[in-house]
Amino acid sequence: MAPTVLHLRSETKHLEHRSALTPATTAALIKAGYVVNVERSPERIFDDAEFEDAGATLVPEGSWVDAPQDHIIVGLKELEEKEFPLQHVHVQFAHCYKQQAGWETVLARFPRGGGTLLDLEFLIDERGRRVAAFGFHAGFAGAALALEVWAWQLSHNEPFPGVASYPNEDALIANVSKALNSGAEKAGRLPRVIVIGALGRCGSGAVAALRKAGVPEDNIVKWDMAETAVGGPFKEITDSDIFVNCIYLTSKIPNHVNLESLQTPDRKLTVVCDVSADTTSPFNPVPIYTVATTFDSPTVPVDGLKSGPKLSVISIDHLPSLLPREASEAFSYDLLPSLLTLNDFHNSPVWARAEKLFKDKVATLPASALEN
């Protein structure tokens, strides 16, 4: 039997430096009998030569489109918005299963071409737990960025400027700690930060970043399901300087905060980091903004406030790319056991569940979306 060929595509999302495969996981796949083709990439945090040294074959950027149909295309973030149907099996985050804006167009490209989507966001084990996720580093980066924005707004009227990826965690924390100290000097105190979803991967990453940056333990309010069970909105959010939302939702719950709850005259809240960043999802429990932000423009102001301080929202949907090497290494390491079974994805439980979910979602598409 011919070996299964994996084709790692170059990411096209602006400032996306992460990778679903690393040189280490590539070497492990090749050792297990896979052939791995890696597109050259000007953006990926790992040098092309690192993959070549691991045994991969380097191929031109964007060549996945013309790859043989039996090659499995491995990526990370969503594909560029194009019209042509997709004929391959694609492993990636597609952001089209929760009724996000334009989901029908994104999803329909797969059945229109006879392709299959195995969405990384929905790879789960027999207990329903995700086998790999960027949650920890998303929360870590989001909380770190929120601290910087809090400090910035104390001394500036203009929006927080663009940011770039850091080479490592130490460099990020050094920068955030410096900003935090500057903000504390201006405010005469350190911020109070509430993290909702604090016990999960994402929330634990947020709490870790706050601690490493120098926020005292007493200033970190750690909430999870027990605290939110009564249903929001919650005054504890507007009583805090920063709110980091780390809740992952697939159904609607009462809003944590809304425009009405923000009108309280004693609001202290000035920064919201919605790490989940399901901006257009009807399940979003933070419906106070409608714009996804970017590394170039990290914040969006909340409109419609009658009083109180300026309030900014961070809603970047690829926050872990602030720490691309460490985030990629952790994610790909966790994903590796599943990657090693891709050669029999129809029967491997993790991938079979993902394939069934894909077929279930395709069944909900309107007939008009499937017209070529």
| 8 A C-beta contact, residue 41 and residue 48 | yes
Q: How far apart are the first and last CA of the chain?
A: 34
Is 211 annotated as ligand-binding?
A: no
* Annotated binding residue 73: no
Sheet holding 242-245, edge to edge: 220-223, 193-196, 242-245, 271-274, 312-314, 299-301
129 is in an annotated binding site: yes
Both tokens assigned to 328: 């990629």
Q: Is residue 325 within 8 Å of 168, Cβ to Cβ?
A: yes
Task: Give the active site residues.
Answer: 77, 95
> Would the annotation count 275 as a binding residue?
yes
Instruction: Supply φ then ψ for residue 74, to 5 degrees.
Output: -110, 125
Cβ count near 129 (within 10 Å): 10
The string of DSSP letters for 217-255 reads GGGEEEE-HHHHTT-S--HHHHTSSEEEE----SS----
CB contact at 8 A, 114 and 87: yes
Q: How far is CA 95 from CA 17, 27, 60, 98, 175, in A?
A: 18, 29, 26, 7, 31
Pairwise CA distance, residues 183 & 47, whole Å: 37
- What is the 8-class DSSP label of residue 140? H
For residue 188, say whether it is annotated as part of any ligand binding site. Answer: no
Cα 106 from Cα 95, distance rounded (Å): 9
Which alpha helices (DSSP H) does 80-239 contain, by range?
Answer: 103-113, 135-153, 169-187, 201-213, 225-228, 235-238
The reply, when asked if residue 224 is annotated as ligand binding, is yes
What whole-number distance in Å separates Cα of residue 40 and Cα of residue 47? 9
317 is in an annotated binding site: yes
Is 119 a known ligand-binding residue? no
Annotated binding residue 55: no
Measured between alpha carbons, how far is 54 from 24 in angstroms, rounded to an integer?
7
Task: Cite the annotated binding site for NAD(+) by residue number.
Answer: 129, 200-201, 224, 228, 248, 275, 316-319
Task: Cite the annotated binding site by residue number.
Answer: 129, 200-201, 224, 228, 248, 275, 316-319
